[in-house]
């Protein structure tokens, strides 16, 4: 349990302060409740583009944000996903006001410094990042193919956070201004300051730098289109897709729609992923990699997102093995787990690993997944920075029967099976696969 104080400024900014005086550092962590799900078809990629633009300077510091903070001894970064954008700095305590001032200036005064030249430069950077991280990376287009297949074309999770290349090229400076004005304001933000700080002086600093920024208009609700409303659940058929790629070994992706973040069944699916592929004693690793040597690796994950979720199993075929063999073993293991459920030892191992992950996230005060990040995550997604206790309770209440129920979800129609095969080797894909659509 983390001690904290939460305060909301008159302009709507949530402020969370967590004191930890063991090390003379302070963590500043700012979340904006905007991600790629807040975009619309034809205008994807803006949330991620803004992650880049926010480091390019603002009205009262019209220069890069890394130099002054790193000169003060700070580390800093930012990231975007489908549901949120975050920025963080970890600074020596005496540089806390510098970090807060810079964050407040780009929140309140970014647009006067956002020029066409900056916009065009960062557009090129993002397009290059897309080429490096997706188009030219082995297996890099698989995620795009899966999202396109799992979610209808007007669903907010149909596209990946990087956005479609044609949309990034078509975006205008006016689009960027409108996006910023809609989503980047105090009422859609959550600020955490953690570390070697005292609460009252921190609140005084925050008021000094953030209170003058006007409150924005209420953020529009995320609305799915007509197609998503007609098909709110997965299609009642399984789908087999294939991608040819510049890879040496075929890889199999099996994906399903699953419960959204913090909803019933979400924790069970998360624990199921641990039991199936979390470490070398897990069922699929033991069978596919260690005993039968059909795969070089196997992984599983529950993609818990704010308005929907998805579950994925991934296995790379070992030399001499085929994806049909991997699929058969996975299907058999899922059937066995659905039939008998996990053993008590398996269940306890999985629950222990989950607890370990909670503890790991408490080890650092700043950065990605540190305590400041966790407090913001719970505040944004659950409305309560102290939600961790209830979050952990979700896993502790999981039973073998609930895990069996999670496995049975994977036997319902709607599975996406994606085969990624070497160029010119379409015969190595699962039978009946058709080319995947990516853009």
Block means of pLDDT (10 residues each) for the chain, 439 residues, are: 94 98 97 97 96 96 96 97 98 98 98 97 97 96 97 95 97 96 98 98 98 95 67 70 97 98 97 96 97 98 97 98 98 96 95 95 95 98 97 95 96 96 98 93
Identical fold for domains 5-210 and 233-435, yes or no, is: yes
Question: Who's near 124: CB < 8 A, 6+ residues apart?
Answer: none
Q: For the domain bounded by 5-210, which CATH number is listed? A: 3.30.830.10
pLDDT of 1 reads 74
Q: What are phi and psi of 122, to 5 degrees?
A: -75, -30
Answer for the pair 211, 34: CB distance below 8 angstroms, yes or no. Answer: no
* Alpha helix segments (H runs only) across 138-287: 142-150, 165-170, 173-183, 199-210, 226-230, 266-277, 283-284
Q: For the domain bounded by 233-435, which CATH number is listed? A: 3.30.830.10
Q: How far apart are CA 283 and CA 236, in angstroms?
A: 28
pLDDT of 130 reads 97
pLDDT of 237 reads 85
The residues spanned by each domain of the chain are 5-210, 233-435
Q: How far apart are CA 165 and CA 185, in angstroms?
A: 27
Model pTM score: 0.95
Cα-based distances in Å from 254 to 63, 152, 383: 45, 18, 33
Angle between helix axes 173-183 and 116-130 (nearest 10 degrees) is 90
Residue (of 255, 277, 224) closest to 145 by Cα position: 255
Strands 239-245 and 75-80: unpaired
What HEC string does 15-40 produce?
Answer: EEEEECCCCCEEEEEEEECCCHHHCC
pLDDT of 2 reads 87
């Amino acid at each position: 349990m983390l001690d904290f104080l939460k305060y909301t400024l008159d302009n709507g900014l949530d402020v969370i302060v967590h004191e930890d005086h063991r090390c003379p550092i302070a963590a500043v962590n700012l979340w904006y409740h905007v991600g790629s799900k807040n975009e619309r078809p034809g205008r994807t990629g803006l949330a991620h583009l803004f992650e880049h633009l926010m480091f390019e300077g603002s009205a009262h510091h019209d220069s890069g944000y890394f130099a002054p903070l790193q000169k003060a001894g700070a580390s800093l970064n930012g990231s975007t996903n489908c549901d949120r954008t975050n920025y963080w700095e970890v600074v020596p305590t005496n540089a806390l006001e510098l970090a807060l001032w810079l964050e407040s200036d780009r929140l309140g005064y970014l647009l006067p410094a956002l020029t066409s030249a900056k916009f065009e430069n960062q557009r090129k950077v993002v397009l290059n990042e897309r080429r490096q991280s997706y188009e030219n990376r082995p297996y890099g287009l698989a995620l795009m193919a899966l999202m396109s297949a799992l979610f209808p074309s007007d669903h907010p999770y149909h596209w990946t956070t990087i956005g479609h290349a044609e949309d990034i090229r078509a975006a205008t400076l006016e689009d960027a201004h409108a996006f910023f004005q809609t989503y980047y304001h105090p009422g859609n933000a959550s600020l955490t300051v953690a570390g070697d700080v005292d609460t009252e002086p921190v609140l005084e600093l925050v008021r000094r730098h953030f209170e003058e920024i006007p409150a924005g208009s209420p953020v529009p609700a995320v609305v799915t289109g007509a197609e998503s409303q007609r098909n709110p659940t997965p299609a009642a058929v399984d789908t087999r897709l294939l991608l040819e790629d510049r890879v040496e070994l075929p890889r199999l992706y099996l994906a399903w729609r699953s419960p959204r973040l913090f909803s019933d069944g979400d924790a069970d699916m998360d624990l199921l992923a641990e039991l199936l592929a979390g470490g070398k004693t897990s069922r699929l690793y033991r069978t596919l990699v260690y005993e039968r040597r059909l795969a070089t690796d196997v992984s599983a994950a529950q993609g818990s997102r704010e308005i929907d979720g998805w579950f994925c199993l991934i296995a790379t075929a070992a030399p001499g093995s085929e994806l049909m063999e991997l699929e058969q073993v996975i299907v058999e293991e899922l059937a066995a787990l659905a039939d008998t459920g996990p053993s008590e030892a398996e269940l306890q191992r999985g629950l222990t690993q989950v607890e370990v992950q909670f503890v790991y996230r408490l080890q650092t005060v700043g950065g990605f997944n540190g305590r400041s990040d966790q407090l913001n995550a719970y505040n944004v997604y659950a409305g309560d920075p102290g939600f961790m206790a209830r979050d952990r309770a979700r896993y502790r209440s999981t039973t073998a029967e609930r895990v069996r129920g999670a496995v049975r979800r994977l036997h319902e129609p709607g599975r996406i099976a994606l085969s990624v095969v070497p160029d010119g080797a379409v015969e190595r894909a699962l039978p009946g696969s058709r080319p995947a659509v990516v853009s």
